[in-house]
């Protein structure tokens, strides 16, 4: 079932989708014991949009992101970033792809402790042997409010500041898409909200494409669109989400998937 | 708690094995040294015992035995045969070849025969001789040939109450011998002559009032069926006071005990090197345990939270160290025993001429000492990490596991101690050099060693303050080569203590290697200068040395020498008779100035030599009262006169003129000497005998003085000693390099998520491996460079202190060795990064997403 819905009110999605999955499958184990982490996923992610992938634990949302970003290999099916098929690239080509066209934001920030904020931000460009675009760096730093923090090391920054540095690092090379994995998972709600609004600003003001994996309905509500996933399949799609609509979507998902048995769980949640 | 310790050890087995290897090597070193010392003692024992062959008893007395004492032994009932232990020295020659060899009398009983006859027989009649095979070969003689024996005989009828006179006997070679048990191996074999000859020669040699010959011991053979103890008692009774009758083995042990003081010193010196290796191993262990404790912070905190107290945690770490120490030491003992056993087999196969035991002897000392030392070193090395374990707060169990943060350097107390040690040590070292150069080399050397050791400890203790700075400096130079190098530098600096400890471990070994190498290079250069003065030419061929005939060297001999293998050039010297103004007659030599300057080692010393000059050494000039630049008139045998200007600076003891001047002075002057220069590449130990062989057939007696051989011998002694020392120190360097590999793999484990992050943001596998390679080379390279710098300085200090007795000290840098050490360190750093690099490169970028 293809649940992808295009919003008629979209600010003109330019060209093909930024990221696509076609019949994407990931199976662990064999025969009887086989577990289908992803069971044939077809989904498109639009350019210039902030999309959240949501689902309960073990639903396959993280696996989907790993496959889309070329961090893990698919059992079958295809994943594309732009026109490039990610599935089937060798390690060097994948490294090249991550350098030039993909950015990552991690739950634990993953900054290098021995480098300053600025050195952390510019690292991807330097690894690629390129030259840092100062104007773009200034724009990022201003947008993310890091002007006064550039010379600090990660240990001297708050969690929210660290994650903002991580966002700047993900954007510095001007990637086609940024994958964010539970970016607010290690932050208090205030810092989390701050980071999420920065992510949204990156999309709105800087024209970036962001795909965020989260299990937090409030976080998902910052996105332009929420893709719901359950049991390795796309289970729903919410445009212009609010925390309430996301929660409702999740609840619907639970009752739909396991009527009766799961209702008390939903109540507990 | 023990169960927990074991469980933790199982989880960290890889780390522990890597750390254990350091201890294994260290204890193997100690074990091998102890076993080798034991083998040497036994070899000495066996070789002494071998001289007594199958004698039943050996009788000896503190005041030695007289001939009468020996005779008295013969009449003891049950005694079958008695021979006194007796040595003499023979000066044997054949043509121009000459050997100076130990001689023993032919035994009266086959039981006393330590040598085996290879060909022919033992001498039975006077004037016969049996030669060791090697000696026969050196002299170029076989059975039936004659050799000339030269000896000095006391001639009481000579004027002035008697004098020594040289007597030559022709001895007939009747047999060749082998020494299968190495009885005389340490003396280069023994020539056998009849007991009558030995007695006659001894008698002829001694002055009339010289006390009668005594013997250190006598060998006794028993009649079949006699009781050993009965005869033993009877022998003692028949001998002078305090005499002893013991079996050859007992006698050998006693003798060996007197002789092996030197060997013990040797063993202690090698154990000193083993101590260095163990010190380095201790550093590696400390490092490993520190990381283990850091890795287990959460577990330790959890244990604290559920009720473990501090001492339990410390005990757990110490228990772990004890188990590791015992297991590694046992491994080291086995390895050391195996290595020495293999070395024995190889040595036996190589036929060194010394009988070598087939198996090593495993004594309690050989097992217990390394076991104790290895375990204690490991446990002591884990004290600091154990203390760190007690400082883990229970609260840390609740904190999220962060990437290891930047550790701080050392504290203030350390800085003060390090500075004090360094400054005081350098001051003492400086004092030592001053004492050494002002003529007190012994005290100076003592002070120098103490000061050097003190300052080195200071440098090591303080390394944490300055070594990271050096790494950062080198890193900044490398940073230009790209972001990978910058990452590597930053990684190396993030834990300055660990980097310092790893680098210091290498620095110790490298410093000592560089110091020895520099000291040897300086000694060599200084020695070369001294040798050049003493031995101006490689080989001297002469008819007029030591007052010999002074006949002309025949042209065929000159041609033979020129054509001999390894000879580069030959310069002829003519001998002219000259009379000084004061009437003194002496021989001066004429040589072509150009050719002379080509063949001598120090051509500058002959610079003034030209027609119209007489050259003589400064010492000669001084003792003759001749001033540099003084005009002299020489008179020839026919009355011809020659005006010359005396110049000092000549080489050796000869007085030199230009050839034409010498001939003008003495028209009858003939070539009496040849100065021979060898090829740079020629081996003097082969070239000089080759020259001797080339002139064997010349009728005129010609002497060949091979200064080049002595030079080569001295150089090879220095090289051998240096080689052995560097080899011993190399063990410490190897352990330190294991430490580098250890540190790198620990870093890889600690930085697993970080590596994954880097991979996720675009670091390629190759870049990741290269980053670790740079880290490895940076740690090893900085340790090596600093070690070399320190070693060269210490080496110079040592050379200046110790060698100043020999004259001017030339400070040299052994560039080749230095470059070799650096290359080895860098390559090893690179190699050390291979396995950790592979592990790191295998890390999937997905790991970056993991929360813990």
Sign of CA dihedral B55, B56, B59, B65: negative
Give A124's contacts in chain B (Cβ within 8 Å).
761-762
Chosen from A99, A123, A166 to mutate, greatest number of chain B CBs within 10 A = A123
Q: What is the mean pLDDT of residues B406-419?
A: 73
Report the pLDDT averaged over residues B280-299: 80
Separation of alpha carbons B764 and A128, rounded Å: 9
Mean pLDDT of chain A: 84
Q: Which residues pair with B221 in a beta bridge?
A: B81
Range B222-227 average pLDDT: 84
The answer to whether the CB atoms of A114 and B848 lie below 8 A apart is: no
pLDDT at B177 over 80: yes
> Average pLDDT for residues B589-595, to the nearest whole number?
88
Give how far Cα A268 sits from Cα of A221, A244, A255, B21, B231, Å. 21, 17, 13, 56, 107
Give pLDDT, residue B129: 92
- Coil/strand/helix, residue B752: helix
Q: What is the pLDDT of residue B409?
A: 52
* Tens-place pLDDT, residues A122-152: 988 888 888 889 999 998 898 888 999 999 9
Q: How many of the other CB atoms lie within 10 Å of CB of B681?
A: 7
On chain B, the residues whose CB falls within 8 A of the CB of A62 are: 849
Report d(CA B491, CA B499) in Å as an integer.
10
Q: Name the residue with higher pLDDT: B308 or A145.
A: A145
Indicate the domain borders of chain B.
1-49+252-401, 50-251, 465-535+710-852, 539-705
Rounded average pLDDT over A6-34: 72
Q: What is the mean pLDDT of residues A89-109?
A: 87
Indicate whether B143 pLDDT > 50: yes
Q: Using a CB-CB distance cutoff of 8 angstroms, which residues of chain B are in contact with residue A103? A: 761
Residue A10 has pLDDT above 60, yes or no: no
Q: Give the SS3 label for residue A214.
A: strand
Highest mean pLDDT among A265-269, B133-137, B809-813: B133-137
> CATH classification of A19-268 is 3.40.50.1980, yes or no?
no
- How far apart are alpha carbons B58 and B252 in whole angstroms? 10
User: Rounded CA gap, A66 and A58, in Å?
Assistant: 14
Q: Where in chain A are the domains?
A: 19-268
Q: Alpha-carbon distance B366 to B32, whole Å?
A: 9
The answer to whether the Cβ–Cβ distance between A72 and B846 falls below 8 Å is yes
**Closest alpha carbon to B84 in B62, B102, B109:** B109
Q: Determine the Cα–Cα distance for residues B296 and B822; give it in Å rounded to an integer.
A: 36
Residues of chain A contacting residue B493, judged by C-beta atoms under 8 Å apart = 114
**Which of A71, A107, A127 is nearest residue B845 as measured by Cβ atoms?**
A71
Cα–Cα dist A193/A243, whole Å: 13
The arithmetic mean of pLDDT across residues A236-248, rounded, is: 89
For residue B753, the chain A residues in CB contact (below 8 A) are 108, 110
Cβ-based neighbours of B424, under 8 Å, separated by 6 or more: B451, B454, B455, B458
DSSP B811: P
Cβ B67 vs Cβ B213: under 8 Å: yes
Percent of chain A with pLDDT over 70: 89
Do the Cβ atoms of B490 and A114 come within 8 Å?
A: yes
Task: Search chain A and give the residue with CA nearest B401.
Answer: A108
Q: SS3 breakdown of chain B: % helix, strand, coil, rounded to 5?
A: 60, 15, 25
Pick the residue of B406, B754, B760 with the most A CBs within 10 A to test the interface with A by mutation: B760
- Is the pLDDT reported for residue A12 higher than 50? no
A251 has pLDDT over 50: yes
- The answer to whether B44 and B258 are in contact (CB under 8 A) is no
pTM above 0.80, yes or no: no
Mean pLDDT throughout B387-393? 80
> Can you give the pLDDT at residue B327?
94
CATH architecture type of domain B539-705: Beta Barrel (2.40)
Taking each continuous run of H as one helix and of E as one strand, the counts in chain B are 27, 22
């Amino acid at each position: 079932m293809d649940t992808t819905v295009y919003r008629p009110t979209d600010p003109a999605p330019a060209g093909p989708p930024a990221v696509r999955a076609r019949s994407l499958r990931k199976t662990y184990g064999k025969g009887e014991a086989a577990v289908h982490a992803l069971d044939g996923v077809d989904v498109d992610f639009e350019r210039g949009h902030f999309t959240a992938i949501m689902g309960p634990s073990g639903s396959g949302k993280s696996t989907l992101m790993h496959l889309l970003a070329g961090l893990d290999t698919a059992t079958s099916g295809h994943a594309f970033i732009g026109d490039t098929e990610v599935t089937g690239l060798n390690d060097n080509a994948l490294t090249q792809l991550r350098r030039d066209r993909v950015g990552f934001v991690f739950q634990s920030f993953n900054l290098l402790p021995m480098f300053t904020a600025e050195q952390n931000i510019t690292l991807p460009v330097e690894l690629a042997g390129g030259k840092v675009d100062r104007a773009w760096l200034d724009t990022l730093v201003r947008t993310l409010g890091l002007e006064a923090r550039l010379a600090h090391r990660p240990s001297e920054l708050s969690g929210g500041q660290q994650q903002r540095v991580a966002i700047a690092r993900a954007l510095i090379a001007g990637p086609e898409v940024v994958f964010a994995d539970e970016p607010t998972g290690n932050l208090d709600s205030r810092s989390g909200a701050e980071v999420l609004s920065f992510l949204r600003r990156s999309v709105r003001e800087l024209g970036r494409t962001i795909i965020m994996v989260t299990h937090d309905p409030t976080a998902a509500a910052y996105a332009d669109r929420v893709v719901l996933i359950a049991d390795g399949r796309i289970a729903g799609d919410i445009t212009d989400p609010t925390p309430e609509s996301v929660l409702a979507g999740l609840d619907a998902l639970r009752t739909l998937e396991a009527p009766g048995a799961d209702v008390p769980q939903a109540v507990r949640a | 708690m023990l169960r927990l310790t074991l469980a933790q050890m199982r989880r960290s087995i890889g780390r522990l094995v890597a750390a254990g290897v350091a201890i294994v090597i260290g204890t193997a070193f100690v074990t091998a040294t102890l076993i080798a010392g034991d083998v040497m003692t036994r070899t000495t024992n066996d070789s002494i015992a071998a001289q007594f062959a199958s004698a039943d008893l050996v009788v000896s007395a503190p005041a030695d035995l007289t001939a009468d004492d020996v005779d008295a032994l013969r009449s003891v009932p049950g005694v079958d045969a008695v021979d006194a232990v007796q040595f003499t020295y023979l000066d044997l020659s054949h043509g121009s070849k000459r050997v100076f060899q130990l001689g023993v009398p032919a035994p009266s009983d086959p039981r006393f025969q330590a040598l085996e006859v290879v060909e022919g027989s033992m001498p039975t009649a006077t004037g016969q001789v049996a030669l060791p095979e090697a000696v026969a070969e050196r002299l170029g003689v076989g059975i039936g040939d004659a050799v000339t024996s030269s000896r000095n005989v006391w001639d009481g009828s000579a004027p002035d109450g008697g004098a020594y006179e040289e007597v030559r006997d022709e001895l007939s070679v009747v047999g060749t011998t082998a020494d299968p048990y190495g009885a005389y191996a340490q003396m280069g074999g023994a020539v056998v002559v009849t007991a009558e000859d030995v007695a006659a020669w001894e008698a002829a040699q001694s002055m009339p009032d010289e006390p009668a010959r005594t013997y250190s011991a006598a060998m006794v053979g028993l009649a079949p069926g006699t009781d050993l103890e009965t005869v033993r008692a009877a022998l003692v009774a028949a001998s002078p006071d305090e005499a002893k009758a013991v079996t050859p083995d007992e006698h050998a042990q006693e003798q060996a005990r007197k002789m092996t003081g030197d060997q013990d010193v040797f063993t202690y010196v090698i154990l000193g090197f083993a101590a260095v290796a163990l010190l380095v191993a201790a550093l590696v262990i400390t490092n490993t345990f520190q990381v283990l404790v850091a890795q287990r912070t959460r577990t330790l905190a959890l244990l604290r939270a559920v009720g473990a107290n501090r001492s339990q945690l410390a005990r757990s770490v110490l228990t772990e160290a004890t188990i590791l120490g015992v297991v590694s030491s046992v491994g080291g003992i086995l390895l050391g025993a195996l290595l020495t056993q293999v070395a024995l087999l190889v040595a036996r196969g190589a036929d060194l001429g010394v009988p070598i035991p087939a198996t090593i002897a495993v004594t309690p000392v050989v097992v217990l000492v390394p076991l104790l030392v290895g375990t204690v070193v490991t446990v002591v090395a884990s004290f600091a990490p154990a203390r760190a374990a007690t400082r883990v707060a229970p609260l840390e169990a609740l904190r999220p596991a962060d990437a290891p943060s930047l550790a701080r350097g050392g504290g203030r107390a350390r800085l003060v101690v390090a500075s004090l040690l360094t400054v005081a040590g350098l001051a003492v070292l400086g004092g030592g050099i001053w004492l050494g150069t002002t003529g007190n080399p012994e005290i100076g050397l003592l002070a120098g060693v103490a000061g050097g050791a003190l300052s080195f400890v200071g440098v090591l203790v303080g390394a944490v303050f300055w070594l990271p700075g050096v790494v950062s400096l080198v890193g900044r130079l490398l940073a230009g080569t790209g972001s990978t190098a910058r990452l590597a530098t930053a990684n190396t600096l993030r834990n300055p203590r660990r980097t310092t400890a790893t680098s210091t471990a290498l620095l110790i070994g490298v410093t000592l290697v560089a110091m020895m190498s520099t000291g040897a290079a300086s000694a060599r250069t200084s020695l070369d200068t001294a040798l050049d003065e003493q031995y101006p030419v490689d080989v001297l061929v002469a008819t007029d040395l030591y007052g010999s005939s002074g006949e002309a060297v025949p042209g065929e001999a000159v041609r033979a020498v020129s054509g001999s293998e390894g000879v580069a050039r030959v310069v002829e010297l003519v001998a002219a008779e000259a009379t000084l103004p004061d009437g003194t007659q002496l021989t001066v030599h004429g040589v072509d100035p150009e050719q002379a300057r080509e063949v001598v080692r120090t051509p500058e010393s002959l610079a003034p030599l030209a027609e119209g000059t007489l050259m003589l050494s400064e010492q000669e000039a001084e003792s003759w009262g001749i001033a540099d630049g003084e005009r002299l008139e020489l008179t020839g045998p026919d009355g011809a006169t020659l005006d010359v200007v005396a110049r000092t600076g000549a080489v050796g003891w000869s007085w030199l003129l230009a050839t034409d001047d010498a001939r003008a002075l003495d028209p009858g002057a003939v070539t009496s000497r040849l100065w021979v220069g060898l090829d740079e590449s020629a081996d003097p130990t082969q070239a000089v005998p080759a020259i001797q062989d080339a002139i064997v057939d010349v009728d005129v007696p010609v002497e060949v003085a091979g200064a080049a051989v002595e030079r080569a011998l001295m150089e090879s002694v220095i090289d051998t000693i240096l080689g052995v020392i560097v080899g011993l120190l190399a063990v410490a360097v190897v352990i330190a390099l294991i430490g580098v590999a250890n540190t790198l793999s620990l870093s890889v484990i600690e930085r697993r998520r970080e590596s994954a992050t880097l991979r996720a943001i675009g670091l390629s596998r190759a870049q990741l491996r290269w980053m670790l390679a740079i880290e490895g080379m940076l740690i090893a390279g900085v340790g090596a460079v600093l070690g070399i710098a320190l070693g060269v300085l210490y080496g110079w200090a040592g050379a200046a202190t110790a060698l100043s007795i020999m004259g001017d000290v030339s400070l040299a840098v052994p560039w080749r060795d230095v470059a070799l050490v650096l290359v080895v360190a860098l390559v090893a750093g690179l190699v050390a990064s291979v396995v950790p690099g592979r592990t790191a490169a295998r890390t999937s970028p997905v790991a970056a997403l993991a929360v813990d």
